[in-house]
Amino acid sequence: MTDLDSPVAPFSRRSEPSPSPELATMRFHVDRLADLLHRFQGADVADDPVEEVVARLIRQAARRSPEVWTNYATFPLPDGLREFQRLQVALLEGNRRARVVVARDLAVEDVFGGRALPDVEFRVHGSALPTMTLVDDRVALVAAAGGLAVVRDRAVVGVVRALARAVWEDAADLRAVRRAELAWPEDSASRRVLELLCAGYTDEVAARRMGMSVRTYRRHVADLMTGLAARSRFHAGVLATRLGLVRDHATAASSASIAAE
């Protein structure tokens, strides 16, 4: 018997910055429910093979553009998710009602083989995501146990729907991420100032670590806030994290470093 209190192993391959508590809670429920649905044949779990469900959705997409919410946690996808990728190609082509969120370390061009998808909205998220797709708020396909769980149960689809929208709202626009990466490459002084700012160092400590005057450091901070269109230093940190400009190691090491100062 499955232990309902035991979390399902996360889908992501490596450790990433922790998401908000709300996202973590919803993702836990999606993982757990998907695992249960994959193991047990409930009344509202699709009895048809995944291939048939995918083929049916592809035929429907050929007649009209469905509303699509998709998350990619990893790429290349494992063999058990080949049908997932085949479905995405059909769902997203020319679809202005499609939204796709990819994990921070994925390249959209790789995921879709260089295929141009100008009508699709893409966003990037810095936290681990479940690989899943939701079609017309009626059926969800969620990666589970090395394959796909096809979910039609209204309660479970409701959880997937809530997660998909929360992830989307918390993600950063792909174009903004790329602009930010061009503006602040990894080895730039601006990127280092941004990391120190987000880690919570005082201006005096941060300036000393950068080897510059406090006045110069504050000028860098002001320039960064302007570039990010941030309303405050706190807002700049939120935007930087959402854009993936601040790596998790900067924050992880901050407490010990600040104490050492």
C-beta of residue 83 within 8 angstroms of C-beta of residue 148: yes
Question: Is residue 1, in this structure, part of any structural domain at all?
Answer: no
CATH code at position 55: 3.30.870
Question: Is residue 10, in this structure, part of any structural domain at all?
Answer: no
- My answer on whether 39 and 128 are in the same domain is yes
- My answer on whether 38 and 161 are in the same domain is yes
Give the model confidence (pLDDT) of 126-143 as tens digits.
776 789 999 999 999 988
Contacts of residues 211-214 at CB distance under 8 Å and 24 or more positions apart, as own/partner, are none
Per-residue confidence (pLDDT) for residue 207, from 0 to 100: 93
- My answer on whether 90 and 153 are in the same domain is yes
Give the model confidence (pLDDT) of 172-202 as tens digits.
888 777 766 666 666 678 788 888 988 889 9
* Number of structural domains in the chain: 2
Domain stops at, among 170, 202, 223 = 170
Domain stops at, among 112, 147, 170 = 170
What's the sign of the alpha-carbon dihedral 127, 129, 134, 137? negative
C-beta of residue 4 within 8 angstroms of C-beta of residue 31: no
Percent of the chain with pLDDT over 70: 71
- My answer on whether 202 and 237 are in the same domain is yes
Please classify residue 224 by burial: count the beta carbons closer than 10 Å to its beta carbon, then call 0-12 exposed, 13-18 middle and 19+ buried. buried
Distance between CA 131 and CA 140 in Å, rounded? 11
Average pLDDT over residues 39-46: 46
- My answer on whether 54 and 106 are in the same domain is yes
Q: What is the pTM of this model?
A: 0.64
Give the model's confidence band at 166: pLDDT under 50 very low, under 70 low, under 90 confident, else very high. Answer: confident
The length of the chain is: 261
- My answer on whether 60 and 158 are in the same domain is yes
Domain stops at, among 137, 170, 203 = 170
* Structural domain for 112, as ranges: 21-170
